[in-house]
């Protein structure tokens, strides 16, 4: 079993850095239409199942990397203390690059990492996905590596499992892979577009969730009796989702995404102790969406590990959806 450092070295070995004065990259957040929940290797963030996502356009993270006198992490305009948990995670991720590129600690430049999210941080809107994807691309540019998309997705995954998908836009397929070294567990964009498909974001809460996705996954896998059925559920749902995307069958896409999301949350709630990311408003929105559908409005939803809801609908129905959900933030993709 590889360590994160060994994994990064396999990808970066042989690359000679050509350090730039400054590098900035943006990565979009993504929502998984077929969810990633559970790891076969927690060290390397290797998932149990494949997953499939769509990007959130201009909603995500911009990260800038530049030399400085000491390692500094600035998040949303706030300089973090060196011992801050997020700052430690960021610098550990940067060190994967520095160590793999054979930059001795005595002569490698310290860095300032400035990262800004235009979505809630740590609230189940995939800010860690966009954050580590943006950081990976910014470090690639800063060191002048010119890595391919597959390599970037493999590296971003070391920061956050969902970050592997945020390297790309559009529909993105994440391969779980089977190799113990994780080199076949990467993401790639699918060759399909669907301009009429729209996403609406309803922010129920912008507060950081009390149980992280990482801890929530471990609890669910270890204690939920429903989790043993999850891999088969994903396999079945993935086949339907791919058919829906290829045929632009909105009802199949929406029904499959909603069913997959709610099944994931059922697995969580069956854990010990139960894991419930929903707020009362989340439950109310679910009921409202399902009632609107009975009344003839084609609208569906999906929810990641948090209380916030993402609505799925077609462009032709946007005004009706906005009337029902006036606080919805339309995602421009």
As given in the structure block, the two tokens for residue 166 are 């945020």
Yes or no: say if 313 and 200 are a contact pair by the CB < 8 Å rule: yes
Residues 295-322 as b/e (b if ≥16 CB within 10 A, e otherwise) read eeebbbbbbbbbbbbbbbbbeebeeebe
Half-sphere exposure at residue 2, Cβ-oriented, CA atoms within 13 angstroms: 17
Give the residue, 287 or 125, on which the prediction is more confident: 287
Mean pLDDT of the chain: 94
State pLDDT tens for residues 36-64.
Answer: 999 999 999 999 999 999 999 999 999 99
Cβ neighbourhood burial of 269 (10 Å; 0-12, 13-18, 19+): middle
Three-class secondary structure assignment of 245-300: HHHCCHHHHHHHHHHHHHHHHHHHHCCCCCCCCCCHHHHHHHHHHHHHHHCCCCCE
CATH architecture entry for 197-331: 2-Layer Sandwich (3.30)
The domain spans of the chain are 4-189, 197-331
Per-residue pLDDT band for 275 (boundaries 50, 70, 90) equals very high
**pLDDT at position 252, please?**
98
- pLDDT (0 to 100) of residue 9: 95
Confidence band (pLDDT; 50, 70, 90) for 1?
confident
- Asked if 61 contacts 241 with a C-beta cutoff of 8 angstroms, the reply is no
Q: What is the mean pLDDT of residues 171-197?
A: 97
pTM beyond 0.85, yes or no: yes
Residues 6+ apart with CB under 8 A from 251: 298
Q: What whole-number percentage of the chain has pLDDT above 70?
A: 96
Q: Specify the pairing of strand 110-117 against strand 72-75.
A: parallel
Assigned architecture for domain 4-189? 2-Layer Sandwich (3.30)
Segment holding 232, helix H or strand E: helix 230-247
pLDDT score of 122 more than 90: no
């Amino acid at each position: 079993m590889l360590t994160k450092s060994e994994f990064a070295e396999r990808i970066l070995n042989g690359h000679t850095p050509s350090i730039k004065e400054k590098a900035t990259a943006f990565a979009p957040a993504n929502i998984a239409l077929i969810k990633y929940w559970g790891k076969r290797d927690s060290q390397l963030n290797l998932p149990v199942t494949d997953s499939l996502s769509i990007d959130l356009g201009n909603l995500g993270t911009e990260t800038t990397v530049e030399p400085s006198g000491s390692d500094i992490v600035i998040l949303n305009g706030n300089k973090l203390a060196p011992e801050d948990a997020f700052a430690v995670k960021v610098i550990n991720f940067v060190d994967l690059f520095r160590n793999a590129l054979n930059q001795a600690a005595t002569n490698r430049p310290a860095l300032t990492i400035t990262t800004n999210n235009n979505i809630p941080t740590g609230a189940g809107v995939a800010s860690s996905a966009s954050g580590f994807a943006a950081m990976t691309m910014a470090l690639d540019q800063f060191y002048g590596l010119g890595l391919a998309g597959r390599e970037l997705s493999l590296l971003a995954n070391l920061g956050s499992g969902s970050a592997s998908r945020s390297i790309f836009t559009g529909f993105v397929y994440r391969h779980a892979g089977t190799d113990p070294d994780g080199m076949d567990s990467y993401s790639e964009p699918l060759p399909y577009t669907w301009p009429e498909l729209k996403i609406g974001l309803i922010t129920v809460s912008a507060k950081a969730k009390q149980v992280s996705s990482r801890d929530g996954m471990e609890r669910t896998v270890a204690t939920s009796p429903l989790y043993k059925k999850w891999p088969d559920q994903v396999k079945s749902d993935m086949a339907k989702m791919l058919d829906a995307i290829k045929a632009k069958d909105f009802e199949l896409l929406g029904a499959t995404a909603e069913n997959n999301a709610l099944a994931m949350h059922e697995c969580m709630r069956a854990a010990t102790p139960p894991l419930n990311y929903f707020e009362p408003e989340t439950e109310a929105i679910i009921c409202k969406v399902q009632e609107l559908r009975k009344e003839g409005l084609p609208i569906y939803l999906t929810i990641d590990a948090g209380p916030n809801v993402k609505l799925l609908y077609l462009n032709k129905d946007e005004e009706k959806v906005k009337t029902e959900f006036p606080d919805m933030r339309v995602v421009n993709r």
